[in-house]
Chain A
Amino acid sequence: MTGSVHALIQGVVLGILTGGVYALMASGQTLIFGIMKVVNLAQGALVILAAYLSYTLFTSFGLDPLLTIPLTTVIMFGLGVVIQLVFLRPLKREDSAQLSLLVTFAVALLLEGFMSVVWKTTYRSTNTDYANSSWTFWGIQFTVVRVVAFVLSLVALGLLFLLLNRTKFGRAVRATVQNPMSAELLGVESKRVAALGFGLGAATAAAAGSVYGLLYPFNSGSHYDLISELLSIVVLGGLGSVGGAVIAALIVSTSSAVVATVFSPTWSSFTFFVILILVLLVRPQGLFGTVERGAL
């Protein structure tokens, strides 16, 4: 009996720590939706691309995948801006929300093809000397990488919060979210904000990708499973709400880890979808979503 209680506690710890990784990935996704009403199906592919970047920096140059996060963040930011300028800006505003699904899906396939050519399709894994270490407290294992990921996501989300609430750019972003037309009338260049906002969303994929590569083996096709999980998290949290995404990520990963540990892994994704459906029945806008186009 004590064995299963111990396993349960271990499951909860695993779930909460893994939730940090998902929160990191989902925050960019929900931010992009919040700013532009674009459901970005390429976010998963961006995370995998960032994982490849930090993998390559580690294997070819010996650079630590956690220390290269600032570098990959800059690269991913630039890539995000380019994707917005090339693929999303030409879309007409009226139907851009729906067209953007197809366009970002195309971007995801494009990135997948690019990654299979450059890195082939064999599984990769960033194996630093600490990749498999863990700290033991009261007989419970705290995986180093997961703890780091958790802290990193807190830092990244904190920075994101400061950026959105304490800077002029953040005000412009929030103004665009609330009402693009009046924002433009008041002198906000909403096109510029959209490009930078997409870049920001892509930039969060950098830290997420580094951590992902440390935790899981991945290849170019890994983004399919990832994007379905991210979309579920974002919908559960409420589209556009960064805080909601964090809470939803914790709910998803903790519930699936606990169900997998206590009952069976076969039921873990089922359980999550039951939660998702129940929440949507009661609150169709998600946990922290708003019914009107409104606050972030």
Chain B
Amino acid sequence: MSKANRWRRSAMVAATSAAVLLLASACAGTASSTATGGAGSSSGSPAPSSTAPLVIGASVSLTGDFADSGKAVKAGYELWADEVNKKGGILGRQVQMKIVDDTSSPTQVVTNYQNLITQDKVDLVFGPFSSLLTIPASQVAKRYGYAFLEPAGGGPKVFAQKLDNLFFVQPAPVVKSGDVFADWVLSLPAADQPKTAAYAELDDPFSAPIAENIRARFEAAGIKTVYQQVYPAETRDLSPIMTKVAAANPDVLVSGTQSEDAYSQVKSLVQLKFSPKFMYMSNGANSPVEFPSKVGAANVNGIMSAADWYPGSPAPTSPAFVAAYTAKYGGSETDIDPSSAEAFSAGQLLEAVAAKTGKIDNATIISSLHQGSWPTLVGNLSWDAIGQPTGSFSLIQWINQKLVPVYPADVSKATPVYPKPNWGG
């Protein structure tokens, strides 16, 4: 047997074994459940409905691809339950969270919501993590007439379902999160505005479309595109792309990034000694701890990103949230994942509906949230008929190695710095 043959057979073995492993891990994913929060002193016999605990079911990813973010969502839900129970619950009813694991699987998440609603007969439900899981889960909720407050499914396909029971608990759909940067740039005096732009975009539904939205706004305003490139997710080394960016010498670089690629872009630009006058990154740069530790604290200044909740957020309930979070989970303000704040905000909406209407049932929640504006940790939220939030994210910028909100004016704590300072090395 030649080496090539042996290699081919070896590759077959590897591929087959990988397939077997995948299958095994998919089958192993059964739901485990934990019930937390709650009064703790339920006294056996069923209580009358007015004082019975308000049970809220949610499926989140505690294992699998979305486990890290899923756990952050769980932390947010449970923290909110604790806090609202300290205040006497909702309309006198203690809140009890029933959280089950969906192993990041779109089929398990359907089973979970089906069980929560029909077997466990939970009063209300909250959403899972990711658009991938939110879509099938929201269909189950729709079928049973449940309001679907979901803090982590903001992709276009979520809204393409046109569900009237769904509410995305963030200020704007994900693909529009970068629009605030375009708003700010186009609000500058004409002489200060960039003339040329480059776009480096990760091929991912939550990355490239953000940059493309900004590009459409910029091109309409006459900012010339000198380079535009979508790169595949497995691109480890962004140096060649950044070489092209540097050669095109744009005034503004708009990066549709996730995390790893954002770090790699900045490192490459520093190594290539090219610093654009304006720089926006959709993700990666909005993490207060991770970003400076990956790219070097001296290289963060001037980079912009967007956020809904961030350390030092001007939302009135933010200080209490931070205090409660650090008391329950330890760490400091900068360790809090925005997903936890978004999950917490879903709970705040329930409190607000109950306070306003004196009722807490699915029909009331759905009809109430379709009207008016609702204050939360992640800003004042309002929705259109299909659950798309109609607000905007906040533009944040690294100034003196700290993330500071700079635009729009109602959240701004500093004047935006431009042109971007050069790299620190």
Chain A contacts to B: CB under 8 angstroms = 3-4, 6-7, 10-11, 14, 18, 39, 41, 97-98, 101-102, 105, 109, 121-125, 127, 129, 131-134, 136, 141, 143, 215-217, 225, 235, 239, 256-258, 260-261, 264-266, 268-269, 280, 284-286, 289, 291
Contact = CB atoms under 8 A, between A and B. Distances in A.
Nearest to A2: B247
B410 interface: no
Given A265-B240, A265-B241, A97 B263 contact: no
Give the interface centre of B230, B231, B240 by most chain A CB atoms within 10 Å: B240
Interface residues on B, range: 35 or more
A222 to B, nearest CB: 8
Given A4-B247, A132-B425, A141-B273, A123 B259 contact: yes
B2 A284 contact: yes
28 contacts: A3-B248, A7-B246, A11-B243, A14-B243, A18-B239, A101-B10, A101-B14, A101-B17, A105-B14, A125-B263, A125-B267, A125-B293, A127-B293, A127-B296, A131-B296, A132-B296, A134-B272, A136-B273, A143-B271, A235-B7, A260-B241, A264-B229, A265-B232, A265-B240, A265-B241, A268-B235, A268-B240, A286-B3
A225 B239 CA distance: 17
Give the interface centre of A124, A127, A133, A235 by most chain B CB atoms within 10 Å: A127
B244 A261 contact: yes
Interface string B229-256: 1111011110111011011110000000
Given A122-B290, A217-B263, A7 B2 contact: no
B425 A133 contact: yes
Given A101-B17, A284-B3, 13 more contacts: A7-B244, A11-B240, A102-B13, A121-B68, A122-B290, A132-B267, A132-B423, A141-B272, A143-B239, A215-B267, A258-B240, A260-B241, A291-B3
A60 B243 CA distance: 34
Interface of B: 2-4, 6-7, 9-10, 13-14, 17-18, 21, 68, 229-232, 234-237, 239-241, 243-244, 246-249, 259-260, 263-264, 267, 270-273, 290, 293-296, 299, 423, 425
Contact of B230 (A14, A121, A266): A266
A291 B3 CA distance: 7
A217 B271 contact: no
Contacts of B241: 260-261, 265
Nearest to B5: A284
Nearest to B230: A266
B273 A291 contact: no
B271 A257 contact: no
A280 B4 contact: yes
Nearest to A261: B240
Contacts of B270: 132
A239 B263 contact: no
A98 B423 contact: no
Contacts of A141: 271-273
A265 B239 CA distance: 10
Contacts of A39: 7, 10
A14 B234 CA distance: 18
Given A14-B243, A132-B425, A239-B7, A216 B237 contact: yes
Given A132-B296, A265-B240, A289 B3 contact: yes
B234 A225 contact: yes
A105 B236 CA distance: 22
A257 B238 CA distance: 9
B273 A134 contact: yes
B338 to A, nearest CB: 15
Contact of A125 (B18, B272, B294): B294
Nearest to B287: A122
B271 A132 contact: yes
A134 B247 CA distance: 17
Nearest to A259: B240
A269 B237 CA distance: 12
Contacts of A285: 2-4
B239 A14 contact: yes
A150 to B, nearest CB: 14
A10 B243 contact: yes
B230 A102 contact: no
A143 B248 CA distance: 20
Contacts of B243: 7, 10-11, 14, 261
Contact of B236 (A11, A101, A127, A216): A216
Contacts of A257: 237, 239-240
Nearest to A3: B247
Contacts of B68: 121-122
Contacts of B296: 127, 131-132
Give the interface centre of A127, A132, A261 by most chain B CB atoms within 10 Å: A132
Given A105-B17, A266-B230, A284-B4, A123 B10 contact: no
A99 B259 CA distance: 37
Contact of B267 (A131, A260, A286): A131
Contacts of B9: 98
A79 to B, nearest CB: 22
Contact of B235 (A109, A124, A132, A265): A265
Contacts of B240: 11, 14, 256-258, 260-261, 265, 268
Contacts of A261: 240-241, 243-244
B290 A266 contact: no
Contact of A266 (B21, B231, B271): B231
B14 A291 contact: no
A258 B21 CA distance: 37
